Amino acid sequence: MAGSTFGTLFRVTTWGESHGPGVGCVVDGCPPGIPLSTEEVQAELDRRRPGQSRITTQRKEGDEVEIQSGVFEGVTTGTPIGMVVRNTDQRSKDYSEMKELYRPSHADFTYDAKFGVRDYRGGGRASYREAIGRVAAGAVARRLLAERGGVEIVGYVLQVCDLRGTVDSDRVTREDVEANIVRCPDAVAAERMIAAIDDARKSGDSLGGIVEVVARNMPAGLGEPVFDKLTAELAHALMSLPATRGFEVGSGFSSVGMRGSTHNDPFVPKEGRVGTTTNFSGGIQGGISNGENLVLRVAFKPTATIMQEQQTVSTSGEPVTFRAKGRHDPCVLPRAVAAVEAMVALVLADHWMRQAAYGR
C-alpha cells in the first residue's frame, strides 16, 4: 500500500494486520546518537494496548515491542529503526461471519471496492491495531524532540459524547492525564465520562469524543508553505488515524463567531523572544509555528462495532441482519490519546529536521 509511509526527512512506514503474525514499523531518517530504549517505547505502547481497563476492549495483548535494528548500546545509529510487536490473542473465529457481509461504517466494503480482496479478520489493515507502529515510531520522534529542542507533548481526553472537561493546556501534565482510566485531567468530568462509557458498553452501544493535545517549548519557524504548512501536515497525520472525523487548531471552528479585533493575537516581547498575549492561533500562523504552545483537537466518531442488531448487506448484495461478535472498545478515546500524541510528534520531528536543513 503506497499510503503506508508518512514523513519527508523523518519517515515512518507501518505494516501488519490485526490478526496477522504481528505489526510494526520502520523509522528512517532519525539522526544518530539519540538515546532510546525498549522500555521507553514500551511505556508508550502500554498506553495504547487493549485490555487496560473495563472501558476498553478486553483483547489481551501485552504489545511487547522488539527493537530489531537502528539502536546500538542505547542510542540510535542513524540507520533504519525496525520494531515489531507480535500478535498473541487473535480470535479470528469471531469474525468468520464477516467474510460474507459488510459491517456498517467499517472499511469492509471500501477495501473490497478498492482492492477486490480484504482481510475480514478484525478489519485487517483498517484496524486500530495498525496504530501500534505509529505509537512506536512516535516514541522515537518524542525522544528526538525532547533531546534536541526540549519539546513536551501532552494529550488527553477533553470530551466524551456531550461531556466536556475543563483543562488548562498550559499546565496539564502526563501525571494528570494518567490519574484515571478515561485519561481526562478534569477529575469530576472524568467520573461522568467513565459512567457514560460504562452505560454505552452495557447497552451494546458506543460513544465518540475529542482528544486535545498541547506541545510546549515549541520553536518558531516549523512548517513549509504552501502545501506543507504545519497545520496541513498535522491535519493529514491526525485524520489518517482510524475513526477520526474532525481536526482544529487553536480557536478552531469557534473562531467563526469571533471578530478579528478579538481573535488576533497581539505580539509582545516575551522572555527574550517575540510572543503573543493570547493564543487563538494555537501556535501556528501562516502555516508556520510562532513559538507559542501548539494546541489542537481531534474528533473521533463512536466506535463502529456495536453489540446491537444492525442492517447491512452480504457481499452478494442481499439484505442481512447481524449482531457483531468479538472484543471492542465502547469508546476509542482513552486508547487513542497515545496515537494522537505519536502523530503530533512525528509531524514535529519531521519539520524540525526540515527546518534544520535550512541551517536555522
Q: Can you tell me the distance from the alpha carbon of 276 to that of 267, in angstroms, rounded to the nearest whole number? A: 4
Cβ count within 10 A of residue 313: 13
DSSP 249: E
At residue 282, the pLDDT reads 98
296-344 pLDDT, tens digit per residue, is 999 999 999 898 999 999 999 999 998 887 668 899 999 999 999 999 9
**Nearest CA among 225, 223, 220, 221 for reference residue 234:** 223
Give the residue numbers spanning the domain of 266: 2-356
3 state DSSP class of 311 = strand
Count of the separate structural domains present in the chain: 1
The DSSP annotation for 112-165 comes to: HHHHS----STTGGGSGGGHHHHHHHHHHHHHHHHHHH--EEEEEEEEETTEE-
Rounded to an integer, the average pLDDT of 203-209 is: 96
At residue 18, the pLDDT reads 84
285-295 pLDDT, tens digit per residue, is 999 999 999 99
For the chain, how far is it from start to end, CA to CA, in angstroms?
A: 35
Identity (one letter) of the amino acid at 63? D
> Among 75-84, 105-114, 259-268, which stretch is predicted with the lowest mean pLDDT?
105-114
Rounded to an integer, the average pLDDT of 192-218 is: 97
Cell reading at 41 = 517505547
CATH number (domain holding residue 6): 3.60.150.10
342-360 pLDDT, tens digit per residue, is 999 999 999 999 999 998 7
The DSSP annotation for 13-49 comes to: EEEE-TTSSEEEEEEE-PPTT-B--HHHHHHHHHHH-
pTM: 0.96
How would residue 50 be classed by pLDDT, with cut points 50, 70 and 90? confident
Q: Can you tell me the distance from the alpha carbon of 212 to that of 279, in angstroms, rounded to the nearest whole number? A: 15
157-202 pLDDT, tens digit per residue, is 999 999 999 999 999 999 999 999 999 999 999 999 999 999 999 9
Q: Can you tell me the distance from the alpha carbon of 304 to that of 312, in angstroms, rounded to the nearest whole number? A: 13
